[in-house]
């Protein structure tokens, strides 16, 4: 019985199985290496060596693309670009709009001409409350307030020439404001007056 036991456990019987496994593993590794080599060669031929290495995780990527990305990042992070970030006043706050001044006029009452349904010309009262808006930063703005009384006199002269029909509708109101603004600029000798606001316009 002891002889049979030694034969079953002897080394030469187990050796063939172990050698065959090693050979199969070696052949499989060789096939994998050859496949990877073929893949790398194909990628290198199609994309170029650097791009192929980058795709396989072995290279440094695309230098041109990285350089372009770096330049874009530097441009975005460049300090002192007030045009991109908006104009500031030096303390990080955005500059506000130009200062505008409101200059109200005393109530103006004049006679205007009207035509009745029968064609008869008659006179009616026109009452106007207006405000002049002007920009203090424009050259000549300092003369606007000083010449307000002359502007009011010019406004009265112009209003007396109007008829009720001239003041009808939105077009009539637009023409009135445009003419008053034109006279305000002419009398002040400046483009500082920017708008005429009419708070009250009554014809009786």
Report yes or no: 160 and 111 within 8 Å, Cβ to Cβ. Answer: yes
- Of the chain, the end-to-end C-alpha distance in Å amounts to 142
**Can you tell me the distance from the alpha carbon of 88 to that of 94, in angstroms, rounded to the nearest whole number?**
4
Query: What is residue 94's predicted lDDT score, i.e. its pLDDT?
Result: 52
Tell me 93's DSSP state. P
Q: Are 194 and 136 in contact (CB under 8 A)?
A: no
Q: What is the pLDDT of residue 41?
A: 62
Asked whether residue 11 carries a pLDDT value surpassing 50, the answer given is: no
Tokens matching residue 95: 């500059």
pLDDT of 2: 41
What per-residue confidence (pLDDT) applies to 174?
95
Chain-centroid distance, C-alpha 35: 54
pLDDT of residue 82: 44
Q: Report which listed range, 57-71, 91-105, 109-123, is most confident.
A: 109-123
- What count of residues does the chain have? 204
More confident site: 203 or 71: 203
Q: How much is the mean pLDDT over the chain? A: 75
Q: What is the mean pLDDT of residues 58-85?
A: 50
- pLDDT score for 118: 86
For residue range 125-180, what is the model confidence (pLDDT) as tens digits?
A: 999 999 999 999 999 999 999 999 999 999 999 999 999 999 999 999 999 999 99
Name the burial class of residue 57, with classes exposed (0-12), middle (13-18) and buried (19+) by CB atoms within 10 angstroms of its CB.
Answer: exposed
């Amino acid at each position: 019985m002891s002889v049979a036991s030694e034969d079953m456990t002897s080394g030469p019987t187990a050796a063939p199985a172990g050698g065959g496994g090693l050979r199969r593993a070696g052949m499989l590794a060789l096939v994998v290496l050859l496949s990877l080599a073929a893949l790398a060669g194909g990628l290198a031929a199609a994309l170029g060596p650097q791009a192929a290495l980058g795709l396989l995780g072995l290279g440094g990527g695309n230098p041109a693309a990285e350089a372009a990305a770096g330049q874009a990042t530097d441009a975005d992070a460049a300090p002192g670009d007030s045009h991109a970030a908006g104009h500031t006043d030096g303390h990080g706050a955005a500059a506000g709009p130009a200062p505008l001044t409101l200059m109200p006029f005393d109530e103006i009452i004049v006679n205007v001409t009207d035509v009745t349904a029968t064609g008869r010309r008659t006179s009616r009262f026109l009452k106007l409350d207006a405000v002049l808006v002007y920009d203090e930063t424009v050259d000549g703005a300092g003369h606007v307030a000083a010449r307000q009384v002359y502007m009011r006199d010019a406004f009265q002269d112009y209003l007396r020439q109007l008829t009720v029909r001239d003041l009808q509708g939105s077009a009539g109101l637009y023409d009135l404001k445009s003419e008053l603004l034109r006279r305000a600029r002419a009398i002040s000798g400046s483009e500082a007056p920017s708008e005429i606001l009419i708070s009250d316009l009554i014809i009786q």
